[in-house]
Every structure is written in C-alpha cells, then in structure tokens.
Chains A and B, each alone.
Chain A
Amino acid sequence: DTGVSQNPRHKITKRGQNVTFRCDPISEHNRLYWYRQTLGQGPEFLTYFQNEAQLEKSRLLSDRFSAERPKGSFSTLEIQRTEQGDSAMYLCASSLTADIQYFGAGTRLSVL
C-alpha cells in the first residue's frame, strides 16, 4: 500500500477564488472520508463516500463546498468563493470496511 495521497500539500489563495483538492485513497479501499482540521483542534467530519456514492454530509459542508468521487477511486473537494474562515487543513481518509480509517497528510489551505 502506498498510503492515502493528497495534493497539493499546501494551497494559498485569495479570498473569492475557487480551489480544488485531490485525494487518492489506498487502492481497493471503497470508503473515503473528508475532514477539516483548524489550528489546535481535532478533525471535523465533512463527508463520506462509499464507492462513487456520497452517503453522508455534515452541516459544515456548506453549498460552497462540493465533493465528488466519479469512478469510486480518487476524490476531489472543491471550495467556491473561498473565505478566510475556510483556512484549515483538509484531511482525507480511506477504509476497506467501516473499521479503521487511514489518513493522508492533508492539504493546508490558506485564504488571504
């Protein structure tokens, strides 16, 4: 296993711009999760995919956020019209069953 891969590792953008992050899960993991972690806090759940179906969404996932997993492999998380409050680490995790989630190193978003 090569582990969960997230790109880019760091993204700096200006307020109002759109950004997209990518997550490549561990191969054959059919479950994929997105979390957001602000500085000094624990991760907060955003959304969950099983294969290509988005089965669960947090209230944190406002309508400016959209996540996709088109072929049940990699996933993208897009934030439109970024705000300074969106600055955070965005973590992706994957799992084969509902048991242990394996995390990527995250994408750190800085909105100026």
Chain B
Amino acid sequence: AQTVTQSQPEMSVQEAETVTLSCTYDTSESDYYLFWYKQPPSRQMILVIRQEAYKQQNATENRFSVNFQKAAKSFSLKISDSQLGDAAMYFCAYRANAGNMLTFGGGTRLMVKP
C-alpha cells in the first residue's frame, strides 16, 4: 500500500521569505502522480501544483515549485516570496497512474508572519 509522510506538522515563515515543505512517499509503482493541495481554514482544498513521475523536470507554478527526487521518493514544495494568503494547511498527495484514489499525508500547517 502507498503511504505519504509529511514530517513537519507546523512551519513558520516571514512574509516575503522562502519556505520548503517536506514530503516523502512509499510506493512500488513506477508511474504515478504527486500533488500539493492547500486547505485554508474552513475553505475548500485547492490544487497548488502537480508532478508526473515520468517527468524529470520539476514542476513550477508562479511562486510555487517542487523538488522531485524519484529515487529518494521525496517531493518537497518550495514557496518563494511568501504572502499572508499562503497561510493554510498543505497536503501532499499521491495517485498511482492506474488508480483513482488520492493518498494524502498528514499535512503541514504553514504560518506566515507579517
């Protein structure tokens, strides 16, 4: 069974600074997708960024980028120029290419200090 681990329950960053959230996963599959979702308080979860395992190039979406290390089964999220609106729970998730369900990590609460 696949597992996703986020080892940082909470992280804090100063506004305009850069922060990296960690995620590791375990799978025997070779073809899969990885995601970072953001869940603001009392609001719906939204997709931040997505990575296809067969692509070596790291995904980037504006201030958000990932460091995907397939051999190490590591998928970290870097947020540059942090903004107050980035404060939320961040979840790392995995989906096998042939599967339908997302497997989530336990989440990291990101606080942004003004």
Identify B44's interface contact among A3, A35, A45, A99, CB under 8 A.
A3
| Chain A residue nearest in CB terms to B45 | A103
Of residues 89 to 112 in A, which have CB atoms within 8 Å of B's CB atoms? 91, 98-106
Question: For the complex, is B16 an interface residue (Cβ under 8 Å from A)?
Answer: no
- Contact size range, A: 20 to 34
- Contact size range, B: 20 to 34
Asked if residues A43 and B91 are in contact (CB atoms below 8 Å), the reply is: yes
Question: For the complex, is A42 an interface residue (Cβ under 8 Å from B)?
Answer: yes
CA distance A53 to B6 in the complex (A): 33
| Chain B residue nearest in CB terms to A3 | B44
Hey, which bits of chain B sit against chain A, CB under 8 A? 4, 6, 33, 35, 37, 42-47, 50, 91, 93, 95, 99-107
The 7 closest A-B pairs by CB, nearest first: A42-B104, A45-B101, A103-B45, A105-B44, A48-B100, A103-B44, A43-B104
